[in-house]
């Protein structure tokens, strides 16, 4: 977590002891080389093999469309398989593309003199080799989380 100015990291367990890990990293400024970076770079460096990448639609109350998309990675390391959902939440936007995150960073730096931004990541082990159940649990968690983030991430 290089260059992050503030972060939140917590494991959440449900009544079945199924865990979801939440990480939120906040960068006050991304001008001096401390940039939000993609898990697509750091997960392989930590020994995880990315087996699938896609966008996952999520229903989110409180945003105009009622829906957004997160980047979904399926990662494996030995016998362990996890699902990761992540997005960039920066300057009033929910962004699901590393490229668009960089483009908005440049635009907002020029037009708004702002380079702050956040990275939000959920990760959960796939239980009983049931990706669909794990993913649904993560999407339900995100649905509850998203309205709360607006109180803590600057728009």
**Which pLDDT score, from 0 to 100, does residue 44 have?**
86
**Burial bucket for residue 145 (CB in 10 Å: 0-12, 13-18, 19+):** middle
Q: Among 1-10, 37-46, 82-91, which stretch is predicted with the lowest mean pLDDT?
A: 1-10
Domain residue ranges of the chain, discontinuous segments joined by +:
6-46+98-149
Q: Which pLDDT tens digit goes with each residue over 28-69?
A: 767 666 667 788 888 888 899 999 999 999 988 777 778 899
pLDDT of residue 35: 67
Residue 1 confidence (pLDDT) above 60 = no
What pLDDT is attached to residue 110? 93
Burial 54-90 (b: 16+ CB within 10 A, else e): eebebebeeeeeeebbbbbbbbeeeeebbbbbbbbbb
Q: Which residue has the higher pLDDT, 16 or 122?
A: 122
Give the model's confidence band at 12: pLDDT under 50 very low, under 70 low, under 90 confident, else very high.
very high
The pLDDT value given to residue 33: 65
Mean pLDDT for the stretch of residues 111-136:
91
Number of H helices, E strands in the chain: 3, 7
Q: What is the mean pLDDT of the chain?
A: 88
């Amino acid at each position: 977590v290089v260059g992050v100015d503030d972060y939140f990291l917590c494991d959440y367990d449900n009544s079945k002891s199924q865990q979801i890990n939440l990480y939120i990293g906040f960068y006050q400024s991304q001008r001096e080389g401390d940039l939000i970076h993609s898990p697509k770079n750091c997960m392989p460096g930590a020994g995880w093999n990315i087996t699938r990448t896609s966008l996952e639609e999520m229903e989110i109350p409180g945003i105009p469309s009622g829906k957004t998309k997160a980047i979904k990675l399926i990662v494996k390391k030995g016998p362990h398989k996890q699902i990761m959902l992540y997005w960039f939440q920066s300057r009033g936007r929910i962004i699901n593309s590393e490229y668009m995150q960089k483009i908005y960073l440049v635009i907002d730096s020029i037009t708004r003199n702002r380079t702050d931004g956040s990275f939000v990541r959920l990760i959960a082990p796939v239980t009983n080799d049931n990706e669909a159940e794990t993913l649904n649990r993560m999407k339900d968690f995100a649905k509850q989380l998203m309205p709360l983030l607006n109180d803590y991430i600057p728009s």
